[in-house]
Structure 1
Amino acid sequence: MERTAPEGRGPAPFGPPASVPGLPVLPELAERLAGAAHGAGPEPVGGGRDVLEAACGYWSRRGLPTDTSHAAAAPGGEPLLLALLAATGGDVLVPRPCAAWYAPQARLLGRYAYHVPTPAECGGVPDPFALLETVRRVRREGGDPRALLLSVADDPSGTVAPPELMHEVCEAALDESLLIISDETFRDTVHDAGGTVLFSPAEMYSRDVVVIVDLGEALVPPGWPAAIARFPGTRRGGELHAATLDALAGLRAVCAGPVAAAVAHALGEPGPVTARLAAANRLHAVLAGALHRTATAAGVLVRPPQAGSHLYADLDPLRPALTDRGITDSVELEDHLTRRIGAPVPGGHRFGDGPDTLRVRLSTGPLLGGSDEQRLQALTAPDPLELPHVDEALRLFASACAELDGAPR
């Protein structure tokens, strides 16, 4: 459903936010991809044996034993979710806010994605009472909610839901006979792996949870589309698996052979891959912390980041000063900050919030630098905040925040 910005500004942009460059490709993965580039045969629908066995090993190391007959691979999270929702049928419930790629998949199928209020402290997991109220209201109005899509480590907020909340919302969903789809794309990007407790719903309710992981946020470069799914080892799980593969076949959504070879290697988590992931997590933790300190110093409301490379900032406390500058909604705020900073700063309307809010997603990406050399320097520096290009980008962000607060330029 298209939404319109206030005061006749025309359609608000609801597509996926523009991306920023990631870290340089790990040489070992580039070698695997290049080594398989001579192969002309397509991968099977749902993934070849090498990828599926590697995916099962990946989940087993996380306490989720899986058989290859209940696993699938696809060229990216979007086609995988689209195929899964096609197999599930009915409508889907999602948090508000949520990742920008959730709702469009439901709309492509002619289904509704109903947003459930999600307090800032809850990460990507909606309030259980709000979930029950939303499900029952939707059913009274003739809707057909069948699945709850949530994220254990959240985009856009970069926070992790408390385990007790995860337990409560899963119980509420199962009481309403909903399938739980757990997006675990960012589970391996937790900044403080020793202090942040992260649970998968599949650890609690393995018979009722499908797990999906877009691998481009942790184990492989984001430009190499790859995602995996884990289905329950039950009759219903087998039926969902088969129906999902049928939908993937209809989309011709199969992994490219060279990418599949690199993905299978990365899912095995050899030393260089895990070392790169650990270094990336340390880097994003430092940069996200710097963004958090700068934003809060300017009066912006933003939760401390716990995972990934994003923060979700609420600039409503600055609304009077923003109004004086002609900024009254998230569409205008996105336009202004993107121009001012010179990098994408997507507004809250892209994540399910109304355009009248003053929310944006902040990313560490613009701080990494504009070249592979600068990004590699940031990755390996003892203190990336001391690098000139990182310091300059942070100063630009601080200046933009100060302007929005009405402070002298």
Structure 2
Amino acid sequence: MVAKSATLVMNEMMQHAVAQGRSVINLGFGEAGLPVMPELRKILSADSARNAYPAVQGSYAVRNALSGYFTRRGIPADADHCLMAPGSKALLFALLQALKGDVVLSRPSWVTYAAQSHMLNKHCVWVDAPESAGGVPDPKLLVSALDSARRAGQNPTTLLLTSPDNPSGTVAGRTVIEQLVHIAKEQNLAIISDEIYRDLAYDQVNFVSPAQLAPERTFVTTGLSKSMALGGWRIGAALFPQNAWGDAVMQEVIGTASEIWSGMPIFLEPVAEYCFSEPSDVLQWVNESRQLHQRVSNEIHHIMVDAGASCRKPSGAFYIYPTFHDSEFAHRLGVSEDESLSHELFERFGIAVLPGSAFGDLPQRMGLRVVTSMMYGTDDESRMETMRMADPLQAPSVKDGLERVHEVFAGVPSNR
């Protein structure tokens, strides 16, 4: 049986708690926490009467805009090797289906990777992430993990990477990516690079995609749910290698798309085309949201470290991943594994987070996936004001949320 995604369960739990009148701080659900850019609402309104079935691959106009988006980032691309879909989840599933064999995942990694792999009867080869960043397996551990998996009768063929990653909000540096690409070439592994958070990496200049180093074996997935805060609009995209193998995989993915989702909503294609064309207002919007995410994530990181957590400094997106193994904070709450820790935080203090075990981590590490983006305001007006403030930490919703989080993790009792 396929269980409901832990992230969606968390969101529904939060909605139920709020409906009951509980005072809660949502650090559990991975939305960007920002309003829709006004220009995109105008574009959507103008095209809302379109109701024809779209081309499965997406219109040439939107795919051409997408290829330009990749090209500007140093990734070889053309419209014929781009594909649109209703969200990147669908593309990830279709890609995993087309790429036969088992999947190598970092521990921890986004909940959907392992869930989709299991749905496709694939084994997951788990490899701890390096100390420098999450979202990728440690190159020092990868070769031995591949050897062990093959001795156990598994067939690892696909390396699934994400940077910046969910759950840790960190970016894998050039050296790590180069080492992983080298191993992928030696071991003949396909690479799926999930770059849904790429434009929210705090250091855009030094960001490196495996598709820049090994375009012949790298499939890139992305979308507009995070950088443009369009999660509910379901706009996903993928880029395929420009060779015979990439073409064959792409045709299989298109075949799956034709039988499952047909195409992305046709009235959203002009929105996607506009965003991937990156006019100045889109670039400004992404830049302002990136700065906001960085400011708040760094502040919550300080709180967690002060509480005794081991936690990488965030370098992208709006997540942090503290671990509380053998910490005074965990001892004070009387817990020894991550699910109990997240349960205590919600029931006793009204703070919603997800346990690291939901992301494939070991429960005894006491990891928590903490989302930092849901404190920006309670409506579009307040969220917009928070994004435009010189010091967003002074926004009422952010200030209150940070005070609540600090109160709990600093050890002050709470009955909320």
Same fold (TM over 0.5): yes
Q: Deviations over 1:352-408 (max 9, x none)?
A: 1023331111111232122222211211111111222211110100011123xxx66
2:38 is the counterpart of 1:27: yes
2:295 is the counterpart of 1:286: yes
Q: Provide the C-alpha distance between the structure 1 equivalents of 2:90 and 2:83, rounded to a whole number of angstroms.
A: 12
Q: Which moved more, 1:198-207 or 1:124-133?
A: 124-133
Q: Among residues 303, 311, 316, which one is paired with 2:320 in the alignment? A: 311
2:243 is the counterpart of 1:234: yes
Q: Provide the C-alpha distance between the structure 2 equivalents of 1:13 and 1:69, rounded to a whole number of angstroms.
A: 33
Deviation for aligned residue 1:215: 2.2
2:153 is the counterpart of 1:142: yes
Q: Deviations over 1:267-309 (max 9, x none)?
A: 1111211111111011111101110111111111111111101
Q: Among residues 353, 369, 373, which one is paired with 1:365 in the alignment? A: 373
2:24 — aligned with what? Answer: none
1:70 — aligned with what? Answer: 81
Tell me the SS of whatever aligns to 1:120: coil
1:299 — aligned with what? Answer: 308
Aligned-partner residue type, residue 113 of structure 1: C
1:349 — aligned with what? Answer: 357
Work out whether residues 74 and 227 of structure 1, in 8 Å CA contact, stay in contact via their aligned partners in 2.
yes
Deviation for aligned residue 1:338: 3.3
1:7 — aligned with what? Answer: none
1:29–1:40: structure 2 CA closer, same or farther, 3 Å change rule?
same
Q: Taking structure 2 as the reference length, what is the TM-score of the superposition?
A: 0.90
Aligned-partner residue type, residue 216 of structure 2: R
2:275 — aligned with what? Answer: 266
1:189 — aligned with what? Answer: 200
Q: Deviations over 1:254-278 (max 9, x none)?
A: 2111222211111111121111111
Tell me the SS of whatever aligns to 2:225: helix
Aligned-partner residue type, residue 383 of structure 2: R
For structure 2, list consecutive stretches of 5 or more residues without a partner in the other structure. 12-28
2:336 — aligned with what? Answer: 328
Q: Among residues 125, 128, 137, which one is paired with 1:114 in the alignment? A: 125
Aligned-partner residue type, residue 266 of structure 2: G
Aligned-partner residue type, residue 147 of structure 1: T
Q: Deviations over 1:239-260 (max 9, x none)?
A: 1111111122222252111222
For structure 1, list consecutive stretches of 5 or more residues without a partner in the other structure. 3-10
2:62 is the counterpart of 1:51: yes
Q: Provide the C-alpha distance between the structure 2 equivalents of 1:369 and 1:130, rounded to a whole number of angstroms.
A: 42
1:298–1:271: structure 2 CA closer, same or farther, 3 Å change rule?
same
1:55–1:339: structure 2 CA closer, same or farther, 3 Å change rule?
farther
Q: Among residues 50, 60, 66, which one is paired with 1:39 in the alignment? A: 50
Aligned-partner residue type, residue 250 of structure 1: E
Deviation for aligned residue 1:143: 1.0
Q: Provide the C-alpha distance between the structure 1 equivalents of 2:287 and 2:350, rounded to a whole number of angstroms.
A: 28
Work out whether residues 130 and 137 of structure 2, in 8 Å CA contact, stay in contact via their aligned partners in 1.
yes
Q: Which moved more, 1:218-227 or 1:239-248?
A: 218-227
Deviation for aligned residue 1:340: 5.0
Q: Deviations over 1:31-63 (max 9, x none)?
A: 111111101112221222122111101011111
Deviation for aligned residue 1:327: 2.2
Tell me the SS of whatever aligns to 1:173: helix
Aligned-partner residue type, residue 397 of structure 2: H
2:16 — aligned with what? Answer: none
Q: Deviations over 1:158-182 (max 9, x none)?
A: 1111201110111112211110111
Aligned-partner residue type, residue 323 of structure 2: D
Work out whether residues 300 and 317 of structure 1, in 8 Å CA contact, stay in contact via their aligned partners in 2.
no
Q: Provide the C-alpha distance between the structure 1 equivalents of 2:270 and 2:4, rounded to a whole number of angstroms.
A: 40
Deviation for aligned residue 1:323: 4.3
Work out whether residues 329 and 409 of structure 2, in 8 Å CA contact, stay in contact via their aligned partners in 1.
no
Report how many residues are paired: 395
Deviation for aligned residue 1:115: 1.3
Q: Provide the C-alpha distance between the structure 1 equivalents of 2:100 and 2:138, rounded to a whole number of angstroms.
A: 24
Deviation for aligned residue 1:98: 0.9
Q: Provide the C-alpha distance between the structure 2 equivalents of 1:359 and 1:253, rounded to a whole number of angstroms.
A: 39
2:283 is the counterpart of 1:252: no
Q: Provide the C-alpha distance between the structure 2 equivalents of 1:219 and 1:370, rounded to a whole number of angstroms.
A: 18
1:283–1:220: structure 2 CA closer, same or farther, 3 Å change rule?
closer
1:122–1:381: structure 2 CA closer, same or farther, 3 Å change rule?
closer
Tell me the SS of whatever aligns to 2:241: coil
2:93 — aligned with what? Answer: 82
Tell me the SS of whatever aligns to 1:146: strand
Q: Provide the C-alpha distance between the structure 2 equivalents of 1:273 and 1:301, rounded to a whole number of angstroms.
A: 36
Q: Provide the C-alpha distance between the structure 2 equivalents of 1:207 and 1:199, rounded to a whole number of angstroms.
A: 16
Q: Which moved more, 1:334-343 or 1:159-168?
A: 334-343
Aligned-partner residue type, residue 325 of structure 2: D
Deviation for aligned residue 1:321: 4.8
Deviation for aligned residue 1:324: 4.9
The percentage of aligned residue pairs carrying the same residue is 30
Work out whether residues 309 and 324 of structure 2, in 8 Å CA contact, stay in contact via their aligned partners in 1.
yes
1:6 — aligned with what? Answer: none
